[in-house]
Structure 1
Amino acid sequence: MHDDSFLYQVAELYFVQDMTMGAVAERFGISRSTVSRMLSEAKSRGIVRISLRPPDHPPDRLSRRFHETFGVTAHIASTQRSSHSGQRLEAVSRYAANLLVDWVEDGSILGVAWGTTTSTIAAHLGPTNAQDVTVVQLNGAAGPRTTGAGTSTPLLSTMARAFNAELYPFPTPAFFDLEETRALLWKESSVRRILAVRSAVDLAVFSVGAFQGPVLSQVYTEGHFTQAALRSLNENRVVGDICTVFIREDGSYADIDVNRRASGPTPSDLARIPRRMCVVSGRHKVRGILGALRSGAVTDLVIDDLTAKEVFDHLEPPGPSANV
């Protein structure tokens, strides 16, 4: 065994001054095999510490930028530049499904908001060995033209089967006609039971709905809103919804009247959940993504690389043309 001072001298010559083992051995009058053993000994004693830095890929830079700008952890799904909206949705959904398999543990309470994206995530889930898991529906789905069962039931059932979970559906309207009706229903014991489970959720998964673009949120395709109502949302600068609660690009939502009739949790309610996964893709959702991030509703953002770039392009539009 060699003393620390000697080990340090040998390690410095080899690692810092880039001398060969033969040169170090000649310097101290020892064999190359002794130098090799001393370097190993220096590592085991903590005199030498080796660190590795992974390559700085574009998704890594985007992830850091999301964290620095919004304080969220961004999980970037790689896609081809030519990918269309459906392929981008598939990419983020597969990524999110893999994360859920890792994150859902025995005893987890998983809150799920129904929608196009979460339904696609569910389709990518396979059986797991999780035990004592609970899946609860975060927002109602019934509307003027449908019970909502065809939208929410397959999604929730698939999630529950994947995690061997007890399922708590939430059979209420997505939006109530009257705020008073919602308040009264919230007092019913059967509804309070589901709300209690919803308040205990430790992992939530949801997306950002959009009423414009190639892949519309089911909120806007299931007959919940008339054209006049959609125009009113535009006039209120609404850019999308999370869990059927409408948001503006700046993250505000509290003064939007229809939100008092919504069945889903507000961004403030979501913020009480330890982990909140927002899964989203598509240029048409960029402003909604910014609203969701600024509302404080998101801890983990699953997004494709093209949409991620478009978010920051929107934040930093190109300057005026030099030909003006």
Structure 2
Amino acid sequence: MNYAEDQSTLAVQVARLYYYQGLTTEGIAQELGLSRPKVSRLLAHARQSGLVEIRIHDPQEGPQKLEHDIQQRYGISQVKVVAVPPNSDEEEWLQRVATFTANHLNGLIHSEMVVGLAWGNTLDAISRQLNPKRCTNVDIVQLNGSGNVYTISNFYTSEIYSRFAQNYGARAHFFPVPAFFDYPETKQAMWQERSVLRLIELTERANLLVYSVGAAGARVPSYVYAEGYLEAKDFEELDREGVVGDIATVFFRKDGTYQDIPLNKRATGPNLSLFQQANHALCVVSGLGKARGLHAALIGRFMNELIVDEPTARALLQF
């Protein structure tokens, strides 16, 4: 057992004494032969690393009521609604959700794991709030290509995966292909290459998938809709197909269906059945413009855990 594991084990022991048995920091220090500052640092480590999650159950039925209602309506097992300050804007909501998710991930990501990530504004925000946790033999996999007609190598997306890899001492596996090919035949040919097949096989073994729902009308614009990945004819096609959102640049309609959408044949993201069948599919959403797409994604059962800000959760339940 290395130093980091020793610290985590001791932090759990301290947290149990503090939260379960009600001991003071002085009492814990005496019982374990530690200094009070050491106990305080261990408690802080337990919170920051995700070993402890503090949830406030509001008797006035705020976020917890929303969580229950979403679970009941959509049949999803885990929902976490993040409270935001009154009169705050959507940028603040995203930061609150990103900070909450970053702490939550430390309770989910551990040694000997494969984690698939779909790039975008939400994952970028999360990557900037991560709390260091050293793991061994963790693979961080890019779920979909990020190149466009201007460049095959996208610094914005590579930074997201690099931050995650550095935070967890993991290996980053980049997907050096465009977000969309010009022709379906090009994708079919690329998907026969051994290097691509290896990455797809790694994706299919992922223990955890983390992603958001993209939407064209979001107030904080989804990256793929705002940065030149789609042309006017593509937007017209998506409108004709009744598309309301995407996951990893694979599009879906308002009823949660995604089959036979022409643009998906050129998209490099995984078939959405990957998210339906995943052991742990964590979707993180913030912003009222994404509520409609989130509603469709929940109907399509593309997640089994959701983290969402409180105003968006309320908007979701209006559908």
TM more than 0.5: yes
Q: Deviations over 1:199-219 (max 9, x none)?
A: 100101000111113211111
Q: Deviations over 1:116-164 (max 9, x none)?
A: 1101000000210222111000000011123242121100000001111
CA distance in 1, matches of 2:139, 2:151: 26
Secondary structure of the structure 2 residue equivalent to 1:103: coil
Secondary structure of the structure 2 residue equivalent to 1:127: coil
Please point out which of 55, 64, 68 is paired with 2:72: 68
Please point out which of 114, 118, 139 is paired with 2:144: 139
Q: Deviations over 1:23-69 (max 9, x none)?
A: xxxxxxxxxxxxxxxxxxxxxxxxxxxxxxx6543211111111111
CA distance in 2, matches of 1:126, 1:55: 27
| Contact 2:165/2:171 (8 A) holds in 1 | yes
- Identical counterparts, % of pairs: 34
Aligned to 1:191: 196
Cα offset for 1:167?
A: 1.2
Aligned to 1:171: 176
Aligned to 1:93: 98
- CA separation of 1:148 and 1:214: change in aligned 2, threshold 3 A: farther
Read off the aligned partner of 2:206 and give its amino acid letter.
V
Aligned to 1:320: none
| Contact 1:243/1:264 (8 A) holds in 2 | yes
Aligned to 1:154: 159
Superposition pairs for residues 118-137 of structure 1, below 5 Å?
118-137=123-142
| Contact 1:114/1:151 (8 A) holds in 2 | no
Aligned to 1:290: 295
Q: Deviations over 1:221-277 (max 9, x none)?
A: 221111232122122111111110111121011121111111111221222221011
Read off the aligned partner of 1:61 and give its amino acid letter.
K
Secondary structure of the structure 2 residue equivalent to 1:102: coil
Q: Provide the aligned C-alpha RMSD in A.
A: 1.4
Aligned to 1:112: 117
Superposition pairs for residues 1-324 of structure 1, below 5 Å?
55-56=58-59, 57-72=61-76, 73-313=78-318, 315=319
Read off the aligned partner of 1:282 and give its amino acid letter.
G
CA distance in 2, matches of 1:214, 1:68: 28
TM-score (norm 2): 0.79
| Contact 2:103/2:131 (8 A) holds in 1 | no
Q: Deviations over 1:172-202 (max 9, x none)?
A: 1111111111111111011111111111001
Read off the aligned partner of 1:127 and give its amino acid letter.
P
CA distance in 1, matches of 2:293, 2:86: 22
Aligned to 1:37: none
Cα offset for 1:301?
A: 0.6
Cα offset for 1:114?
A: 0.6
Query: Which is further off, 146-155 or 199-208?
Result: 146-155
Query: For structure 2, which runs of at least 5 residues remain unmatched after alignment?
Result: 1-56
Cα offset for 1:300?
A: 0.8
Secondary structure of the structure 1 residue equivalent to 2:317: helix
CA distance in 2, matches of 1:225, 1:209: 13
Query: For structure 1, which runs of at least 5 residues remain unmatched after alignment?
Result: 1-53, 316-324
| Contact 1:108/1:132 (8 A) holds in 2 | yes
Aligned to 1:31: none
| Contact 2:70/2:317 (8 A) holds in 1 | no
| Contact 1:140/1:264 (8 A) holds in 2 | yes
CA distance in 1, matches of 2:221, 2:86: 22
Secondary structure of the structure 2 residue equivalent to 1:136: strand
CA distance in 2, matches of 1:285, 1:110: 24
Deviating beyond 4 angstroms after TM superposition, the runs of 4 or more aligned structure 1 residues are: none
Secondary structure of the structure 2 residue equivalent to 1:60: helix
